[in-house]
């Protein structure tokens, strides 16, 4: 791995306009979806803004957006009724299984030096970075098949409920393509526009992606080094604290814990304050540590956990409690497999 200089979060601007001009000049061939966007007032307003704000060339943007293929299935997917979250005991097996655990150990084995450097640079343990990549894309095996330009254009102009958000992401995507010298017609991701091994939205890519392999590019599609560094940078930026715990199981007594459950995921009360309310950690944690309380539905009943700052940081990646707990517990299982002496610590917790 090339490490001649510290990882950077932005690539110096170069004469990229010429690269994109050549790319976009190749769009002369007709498309059966051409014209679906051009001429619409909201699209014209977006183009005007990009020209005025970011000095894009009008004809290039018009040409590019003329070849964006609107995807009704993307709108259908976004508009599907929101189902109630699965209980933990149904959600957990999707990520806490031998395939993800063994795959995580293999990914760690293949990228051990990079993961070590990410831990030393950002303070995020190897197993947490590996676990997020495992949950997001099965270690890069499933990064999405939708053309990002199509997904974002569809959601920006044909999905009114969140059009403002996705127009912002389309803006970031076009800036990203220009600044990084990327072909905006070739980049693929999820139906919502999330990209690469760590599934960053364009705005997150621009803010958090790093060139961790030192090759002068931020490549989250095929550089595992850049993906590892970028995930660690993301967590660090949101407040990850090196060496601190993530979550501990807890017991509850009385009725006052119900009010604590309703307070949300951001740790606000100290462990000492929670103990006074009948909420007791079942593993060592300092009395002055801020914590919150969550309840997980298992096959054997409700399981309570004190979640700490680093758990809350994981929820900045995805705000689901189940997601963050899956990342945490998967990270523990992967660490136990890599370091068998730690297996006794992990075995049985959260099962």
Which residue in 188, 237, 243 sits closest to 229, CA to CA? Answer: 237
Contact 314, 331 (CB under 8 A): no
Is 164 known to be catalytic? Answer: no
Give yes or no for a contact between 233 and 316, defined as CB atoms under 8 angstroms apart.
no
Element at 290 (helix H, strand E): strand 290-298
The two tokens of residue 61 are 């943007």
15: exposed, middle or buried (Cβ count in 10 Å: 0-12, 13-18, 19+): exposed
Residue partners of 210: CB distance under 8 A and separation at least 6:
7, 8, 9, 218, 226, 229, 230, 233
Angstrom distance (rounded) from CA 212 to CA 228:
8
Per residue in 228-238, is it b (16+ CB within 10 Å) or e — as a string?
bbbbbbbbbeb
Active-site residue among 127, 136, 180, 303? Answer: 136
Q: What angle do CA 325, 331, 332 make, to 5 degrees?
A: 95
Two structure tokens written together for 328: 């945490």
Continuous H helices in 281-342: 309-314, 321-338
Question: What residues act catalytically?
Answer: 136
């Amino acid at each position: 791995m090339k490490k001649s200089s510290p990882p950077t979060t932005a690539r110096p601007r170069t004469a990229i306009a010429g690269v994109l001009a050549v790319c976009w000049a190749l769009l002369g061939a007709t498309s059966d979806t051409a014209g679906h966007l051009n001429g619409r007032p909201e699209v014209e307003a977006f183009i005007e803004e990009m020209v005025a704000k970011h000095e894009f060339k009008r004809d290039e943007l018009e040409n590019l957006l003329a070849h964006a293929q609107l995807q009704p299935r993307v709108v259908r997917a976004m508009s599907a009724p929101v189902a109630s979250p699965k209980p933990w005991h149904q959600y957990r097996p999707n990520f806490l299984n031998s395939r993800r655990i063994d795959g995580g150990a293999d990914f760690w084995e293949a990228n051990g030096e990079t993961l070590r450097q990410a831990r030393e640079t950002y303070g995020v343990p190897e197993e947490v970075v590996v676990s997020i990549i495992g949950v997001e894309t099965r270690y890069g095996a499933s990064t999405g098949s939708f053309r990002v330009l199509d997904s974002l254009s569809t959601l920006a102009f044909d999905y009114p409920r969140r059009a403002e958000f996705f127009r912002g992401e389309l803006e970031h995507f076009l800036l990203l393509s220009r600044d990084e010298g990327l072909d905006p017609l070739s980049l693929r991701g999820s139906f919502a526009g999330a990209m690469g091994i760590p599934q960053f939205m364009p705005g997150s890519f621009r803010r958090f992606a790093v060139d961790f392999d030192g090759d002068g590019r931020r490549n989250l599609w095929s550089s595992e080094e850049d993906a590892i560094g970028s995930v660690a940078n993301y967590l660090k930026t949101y407040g990850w604290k090196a060496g601190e715990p993530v979550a501990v199981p807890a017991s509850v007594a009385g009725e006052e814990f119900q009010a604590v459950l309703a307070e949300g995921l951001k740790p606000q009360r100290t462990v000492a304050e929670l103990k006074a309310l009948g909420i007791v950690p079942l593993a060592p944690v300092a009395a002055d540590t801020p914590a919150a309380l969550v309840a997980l539905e298992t096959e054997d009943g409700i399981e309570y956990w004190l979640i700490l700052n680093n758990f809350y940081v994981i929820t900045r990646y995805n705000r689901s409690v189940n997601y963050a707990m899956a990342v945490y517990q998967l990270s523990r299982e992967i660490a136990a497999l890599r370091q068998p002496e730690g297996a006794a610590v992990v075995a049985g917790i959260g099962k």
